[in-house]
Structures are given as C-alpha cells and as structure tokens.
Amino acid sequence: MMTRKRKAFKWLTTAVMGAISVLFLTPLIWMASSAAKYEKDVMVYPIQWIPAHWNFANNFKEVWMSNVPFGLFYFNSLKLAAAMTLLTLIVSSMSAFALAKLRFKGRNLAFGLLLSLMIIPNEATLVPRYLLLKWFHLYNSHMGLIVMGMFSIYFTYLLRQFMIGIHQDYLEAAKMDGAGYTLIFLRIMLPLCKPILATVGIIKFIWSWNDYQGPLIFLIRKELYPIPLGMQLFKSEFADNVSLTMMASLSAIVPLLVVFIVLQKQVIQGISLGGVKG
C-alpha cells in the first residue's frame, strides 16, 4: 500500500514539476515561434504557437546576411568565452590544488585573504582594471578581456572544496610510486575532478558569453564586439522587426543550449558530489 502511495506521489510530483518547467519555457517557446514567422503574424492574437506560414529560412538568412556583422559578433563571443573558460579551468584548478592538497606555511591565511576579496563588488574594480589595461596596452582588445576573465576566486573556492573531499591516500600512494606534484595533479586530481570541472566550465562559459558590462567598458571598436553588444546594434537597426530580432536572439542562445545539453550529466553529478564532499 505504501509503495503505491509513493509511486502516486512520485508521479504527481513529476507532473507538477513538468508543468512548472513548461511555464518557465514559455518565453523561449514564444521566441522560437516568432523567429519562424512572417512579421505580420508575430502579434496575432490568439498566439499561433505553431506558425501558420513558416518563414524560418528567410529570417535566418536576413539575420546573418544583414548590414550588422552578426557572424563576426558570434565569432568574437565564441573566441572570448572559449578562451576565458579554458584559462579559468587551468588557473583555478591549479590554485585549488595548491590550497587543498599542498602543505605550506601560511596556506590557511592565503585562503582566508582570497575569500575576503569576494566581498569586493565587481563595480568597485572597474577603474583599477581600466587603468591596468591602459598601462599594459591591453585596452580595447580581446586579450585584455581574456586576462581579466581568467581569474576567479569563486571557482577556485568551489574546486578547492571538491578537492578536499578527495582522500589523501591517493596522493600518498602516488608519492610512494615516485610521482611528483605535477604528475599527481595531471594524472590523479584532474580525472577525479571531471564532474566539478564540467560544472565550472559550463557556468564560466555562460557567464562569459552573456557578459555585457566588460565589453561595453573595455571595448571601443565595433569589430571586437561580442554577441551582447552586437545584439544592441542589431536591435537598433531592426527595432521595428520583431521576427528578425527573435531570430537573432534565438541564434545567440544556441551555443549555451548545446553546451548544457551535452554536459548536463556532468553538471548534475558535479553539483551533487560537490554538495556531499564540500
């Protein structure tokens, strides 16, 4: 009897969560539907969730072949997001390994000071970052954004907490076999940290892809603009065409959807294991 009640409760919970998910996905569904319509059909009421007349191919062509260099903005975002994500994974994982597994004088003090920097709001560092980029001649360049985006206290903390949960016996066994810290980090720690690395990678990629403030302040030339700034130019150019704007918006989120769908298993595993081991 209890088993049947549990199954019924599970099915009910699943149905409720599914309904809530559909509700949250409604704006995305409307955007995809509008991107496939003719402009005259976008604001038709009641809403045509499935377009009566499809214009997806023409809208797609107009977005990518318009006077606004949408393809260039897309490439810039891919370049920036990929570079920042890769470098953040390298820098944060190395820092986390040192703070979690290496024993050196002042380690806890260094970690405490690092955490204390998290209370400084991002906006408070805009002027110092601007001056640093000007001094090092990296202002108005992708390299400047990448250098600023490769360091993350939050991800270092997240990875450190995960690495602390990895038993010390793995390292001791490797040391007995003659492995140094570099080999231990590459051959033992990184493979064991795949779930949390995937989680960090996806979050960082999404943050980098959606970053608007950094490029707005530190980039001047339009040919260097990523998608967020490019979308503003596109909306200014096609402010009266909702279907093209929705097609551009749909195109802008495709990489985020692909990354999450491909790596969602690792993300869920990383979050669950991080919660247990952290």
Burial label for 30, CB within 10 Å (0-12, 13-18, 19+), is middle
Of the listed ranges 93-102, 111-120, 253-262, the least confidently predicted one is 253-262
Q: Is residue 18 part of a domain?
A: no
Q: Is residue 218 part of a domain?
A: yes
Distances 248 to 59, 83, 241 between C-alpha atoms, Å: 9, 23, 11
Sign, CA torsion 246/252/254/258:
negative
Report the C-alpha gap between 107 and 110 in whole angstroms.
5
Q: pLDDT tens across 35-73, in order? A: 888 878 777 777 777 887 888 888 888 888 877 788 899
Give the number of domains in the chain.
1
The letter for the amino acid at 240 is: D
CATH value at residue 223: 1.10.3720.10
On whether the CB atoms of residues 227 and 252 are closer than 8 A, the answer is yes
Residue 161 has pLDDT above 60, yes or no: yes
Q: Which domain range does residue 121 map to? A: 38-277
> 23 or 276, which is more confident?
23
Report the C-alpha gap between 149 and 152 in whole angstroms.
7
Q: Is residue 7 part of a domain?
A: no
Q: What is the DSSP letter of 44?
A: -
Q: pLDDT tens across 83-103, in order? A: 999 999 999 999 999 888 888
Q: Is residue 238 part of a domain?
A: yes
Pull the structure tokens for residue 233. Answer: 């130019």
Pull the structure tokens for residue 69. Answer: 């260099």
Q: Is residue 64 part of a domain?
A: yes
Q: pLDDT tens across 196-254, in order? A: 888 888 889 889 999 998 899 999 998 999 999 988 888 877 777 788 888 888 888 88
Residue 258 has pLDDT above 80, yes or no: yes
Residue 63 burial (CB count, 10 A): 25
Q: What is the predicted pLDDT for the residue at 80?
A: 94
Question: Across the chain, what does the average pLDDT equal?
Answer: 84
Torsion, Cα of 122, 127, 128, 134 (10° steps): 130
Q: Is residue 141 part of a domain?
A: yes
pLDDT confidence band for 276 (50 / 70 / 90): very low
Q: C-alpha angle 246/53/57, rounded to 5°?
A: 55
Q: Is residue 47 part of a domain?
A: yes
Q: What is the predicted pLDDT for the residue at 275?
A: 45
Q: Is residue 160 part of a domain?
A: yes
Residue 34 has pLDDT above 80, yes or no: yes
Residue 270 has pLDDT above 70, yes or no: no
Please state the rounded mean pLDDT for residues 169-180: 80
Q: What is the predicted pLDDT for the residue at 84?
A: 94
Report the C-alpha gap between 271 and 278 in whole angstroms.
10
